[in-house]
Structure 1
Amino acid sequence: MDVTPPAGYPGNTAAGGPRREPTTPFGYATAPHATSGHVRPGHHQGPQGQYGPYAAGQGQYAPSGTWQPRPYGQQTMPQPPSTTGTPAKKQPIGWIIAAATAATVVSLVTGGLGLASLAAGAFQSVAASSQVTETVPDEGGQSFRAPGGQPGPQQATPDAATANTRSATAAESVGVVDIDTELAYQGAAAAGTGMILTADGQILTNNHVVAGATSIVVTVVATGEQYDARVVGTDATNDVALLQLDGASGLDTVTIDDDGGAAVGDAVTGVGNAGGTGGTPSAADGSVTALEQDITVQDETTEAGKQLTGLIQTDADIQSGDSGGPLYDSEGEVVGVDTAASSGGTDIDGFAIPIDDALSIVDQIRTGVETDTVSIGYPAFIGIGLAAAGAAQTVPGAVVGSVIENTPAASIGLAAGDVITGINGAAIDSAQTLTATMATLEPGQTVSVTWTTASGTSQTADVTLIEGPVG
């Protein structure tokens, strides 16, 4: 079924690690985080997985635990965050949907405040130092803004002042959390929303809210308490993630609908961390306009489409930063997970994952068993950036484009221009082979890496893989 307006995902935030003072995110004013409550000590063990196709404009982390530059413009390889200087600025995340003839096409705005600043969800993370925005019209004449001075995934930026929203009530805030993420290797930060499922701190959110995060901090909206969080599992295909708060207990949860879900015409309210500002959530009232909607979220840097299916469509004005937040019915029960929204024009259409579909994925994650779409925990990470396709090389293998400081690759002396030719004695003849091989490995595992230096010398060394950001 055709859906005309383009849509986007609201943002996400990073957790774990040292807390940064909030700064003004792209397109929004950011309020200080709550100081009440407590912060549980978290454990940040380096990048925990791969950066998916919606990573920052500077490049992306491949599933192999390597960093792959995007195929556009000049690339700046990511470096670990400095301990001094200006903190990364957060941006709300949101998917952008561009109009299409059959399925709605969405431009990914990556995660959190660094991701897209569109409605419910985003897959685009923006370089923290970048403040410049560029207006890019889509084929339908709607305007999308690509953050930063570098080319990147386009992101729609609806005007929060014109959105039909209000402050959420105390009842609507129960069980809602703000999710702040740090994307250390991208020098960025992001913000989004989540829902408390259990009293001990299991949190449901969108995958794109935590994609690329090297640390995650979750704030319970109703109390201001803050917790470090870790990813239990993700389903990037269906855009669902389950987090676990460190040391949480006695938390109030959201109330899940148990009487059949949403129907066309039902009154609904989308609640979330609109704009990534924190504090009292934003609430957008509307009604269900369609069910079983299919949309295609598109990464503008690769022109690759990602389809989400079976979504609830609503005319509620879902905003950037709302991603992962609840879509309530008239009884205050959760019927969906705010995930995407349209922008450009006078009307905004929101899209939500039906709560039953999301909880089915959560149940699979809780088993600890991976499937074709569900990943458990964090992927192995070696810490290199792959060179762009077509890079000159003298031997078959995966060409190193950059090496990230303080990673296994740096510890053994890998350098830009080197070619990885083997892992544990198995031949690596391309970047794709390296990606596939890394996907079979686990953080903490020691592997043998063979490579040929730029000068033609073959070397082999053992390294212990670390956790990388989830994708």
Structure 2
Amino acid sequence: MSTIPRRRLAAAVTAAAAALALTVGTAAELPAAAAAHTSTVATTQSAIPFTGQATDPGQGTDPGQSGGQSSGLGQGKGTQGGTNGVTPGNGTAPGGNAQSPNTGQDSNGSTQQEASPASAEESTGVILIDTELGYENAEAAGTGIVLSKDGLVLTNNHVIADSTKISVTVATTGKTYEASVVGSDSTKDVAVLQLKDASNLQPATVDDDSVTVGDDVTAVGNSEGQGQLQAADGTVTDLGASVTTTAQGSEDSETLNNMIQVQADIVSGDSGGALLGDEGEVVGMNTAASSGSATVTGFAIPIESALTTAESIIDGQQTSTNTIGYPAFLGIGVQQDSQSTQSGQGSQSIQPGDGNSNSQSGQSGQSGSTSQTAGAVVAGVYEDTPAAEAGLTAGDTITQIGSTQITDGTALSSAIAEHKPGDTVSMSWTDADGQSHTAEVTLTEGPAA
């Protein structure tokens, strides 16, 4: 089993499973203190998240400083950033060597076959995904699988999480479409997109046979976000494999079970792409891969499992773990300080107020607010959002949403998550001077969940 700390920072560690979406950028519209992130501790069997969100700027060092210790997740198109002393690039980019297997034996002793441009047949029904994370000042890249002629697309949730704009390019035609989120399920790492004005697309062919250990497979994806599908041949090495996220801050540990494990050169950007069987039919969806070793171990969600989740989303079936459409959004960053049971240090969460959270361990006192009022302390306010229109500012403490008392950032996220975009709710808060305020706010459509 591989262990993955679930957090925003794009940092991977030796022999660990890494999510494969490419992202780079900086947090936008928040004070620097509120947007800061701690470093990921690089230890064996610890790795990066499924969230596919922006890398943390300001903690990187020289470009290309990747390899055996840790590696970044991506080379997106935004401002360059890095984490744990690495800049965007996960060892497959120039200057890195953590995941650079070649045909024949390379400097790390790998004999794994490297990926090559996908053929027209391998590219059929596979699309390139580019996203903008408007509130993060970041961009990301990944892959998707066409489900229908009118533009339903299957991908990983972490490919589109926190995105404010999604564009999709059909690899075989080069045509680009605007896409919206039909729904997503972060616990299953599955999302469904709808392409605008799409017609007569060629869907991928789904395999109706069972995959077995030893089967030859080919992983097809937008490797390194270069805008060209690559195909990596490999072999199924295990069935029923598990990849686990470790609990951090306010986020619980989550596990993806029953994964297809393969030995294939799967890299960043391949997330959401097709794992093809020996007959060229889709048997799985590329989701994660090891990092820091010459021989790459990849993990794919079995296609039947991914489709089961996708079908419930398409049918509009609300569950305790999925989001249909886009979440409601208030438009703030929230600080949450708590005592650490081990070290006594505070644990801070910067939460966008839409039901999602981004945890930071081992830091305290970065928001600047010393308010003792119980509630969710505002670390920053995004421009042109309901929070900004209501007059919220950094240092305010939100105490109530509707009839729900707010005790901390997690409670605020939960309260907002109960609503839909367009809902009008009453919000009460106390400012830094201790004055109480109440206002009606109309929640807007937030970034993808």
Q: TM-score range by the shorter chain?
A: 0.7 to 0.9
Give runs of aligned pairs for residues 33-432 of structure 1, distance below 5 A.
58=27, 74-76=33-35, 99-100=44-45, 105-108=46-49, 110-111=51-52, 124-126=53-55, 132=61, 142-145=69-72, 148=81, 157-159=90-92, 162-163=101-102, 164-260=114-210, 262-279=211-228, 281-298=229-246, 305-389=253-337, 392-432=370-410
- How far is 1:75 from its partner? 3.9
1:106-157 alpha-carbon deviations (Å, 9 max, x no partner)? 322642xxxxxxxxxxxx422689975588999xx64334883666999881
Q: Equivalent residue for 1:89?
A: none
1:71-96 alpha-carbon deviations (Å, 9 max, x no partner)? xx954389xxxxxxxxxxxxxxxxx9
Q: Equivalent residue for 1:457?
A: 435
Give the 3 Å change call, closer, same or farther, for CA 335–371 of structure 1 in structure 2.
same
Give the 3 Å change call, closer, same or farther, for CA 430–331 of structure 1 in structure 2.
same
Letter in 1 for 2:312: Q
Using the TM superposition, name which of 151-160 and 412-421 deviates more: 151-160
Give the 3 Å change call, closer, same or farther, for CA 213–370 of structure 1 in structure 2.
same
Contact residue 374 and residue 407 of structure 2 kept, 8 A = yes
- How far is 1:465 from its partner? 0.5
Say what the alpha-carbon RMSD is for the aligned residues: 3.3
Q: Equivalent residue for 1:10?
A: 20
1:431-464 alpha-carbon deviations (Å, 9 max, x no partner)? 2221221111110011111111111211111111
Give the 3 Å change call, closer, same or farther, for CA 343–149 of structure 1 in structure 2.
closer
Ranges in structure 1 where 5+ consecutive residues have no aligned partner = 14-25, 27-55, 60-66, 79-95, 112-123
Give the 3 Å change call, closer, same or farther, for CA 133–384 of structure 1 in structure 2.
farther
Distance 2:135 2:61 in 1: 20
Distance 2:21 2:415 in 1: 31
1:172-217 alpha-carbon deviations (Å, 9 max, x no partner)? 0111110000001111000000010000000000000001101100
Give the 3 Å change call, closer, same or farther, for CA 136–292 of structure 1 in structure 2.
farther
Contact residue 286 and residue 299 of structure 2 kept, 8 A = yes
Distance 1:264 1:403 in 2: 51
Give the 3 Å change call, closer, same or farther, for CA 68–245 of structure 1 in structure 2.
same
Ranges in structure 2 where 5+ consecutive residues have no aligned partner = 4-13, 74-79, 94-99, 103-113, 339-368
Aligned to 1:107, what secondary structure does the other structure show? coil
- How far is 1:374 from its partner? 2.0
Contact residue 380 and residue 393 of structure 2 kept, 8 A = yes
Letter in 1 for 2:21: G
Letter in 2 for 1:264: V
Give the 3 Å change call, closer, same or farther, for CA 442–7 of structure 1 in structure 2.
same
Contact residue 381 and residue 387 of structure 2 kept, 8 A = yes
Q: How many residues align?
A: 383
- How far is 1:171 from its partner? 0.4
- How far is 1:345 from its partner? 1.9
Contact residue 245 and residue 253 of structure 2 kept, 8 A = yes
Give the 3 Å change call, closer, same or farther, for CA 2–411 of structure 1 in structure 2.
closer
Distance 1:265 1:254 in 2: 23
Contact residue 208 and residue 239 of structure 1 kept, 8 A = yes
Contact residue 81 and residue 88 of structure 2 kept, 8 A = no
Give the 3 Å change call, closer, same or farther, for CA 302–108 of structure 1 in structure 2.
farther
Contact residue 195 and residue 204 of structure 1 kept, 8 A = yes
Q: Equivalent residue for 1:121?
A: none
Letter in 2 for 1:438: I
Distance 1:412 1:348 in 2: 50
Letter in 2 for 1:375: T
Aligned to 1:358, what secondary structure does the other structure show? helix
Distance 2:50 2:307 in 1: 24
Contact residue 209 and residue 324 of structure 1 kept, 8 A = yes
Contact residue 293 and residue 313 of structure 1 kept, 8 A = yes
Give the 3 Å change call, closer, same or farther, for CA 422–300 of structure 1 in structure 2.
closer
Residue 419 of structure 2 is aligned with which of 420, 437, 441?
441
Contact residue 234 and residue 241 of structure 1 kept, 8 A = yes
Aligned to 2:310, what secondary structure does the other structure show? helix
- How far is 1:389 from its partner? 1.3
Give the 3 Å change call, closer, same or farther, for CA 109–341 of structure 1 in structure 2.
same
Distance 2:377 2:383 in 1: 18
Contact residue 176 and residue 194 of structure 1 kept, 8 A = yes
- How far is 1:252 from its partner? 0.4
Distance 1:152 1:382 in 2: 34
Contact residue 328 and residue 335 of structure 1 kept, 8 A = yes
Contact residue 64 and residue 91 of structure 2 kept, 8 A = no
1:29-80 alpha-carbon deviations (Å, 9 max, x no partner)? xxxxxxxxxxxxxxxxxxxxxxxxxxx7759xxxxxxx999xxx954389xx
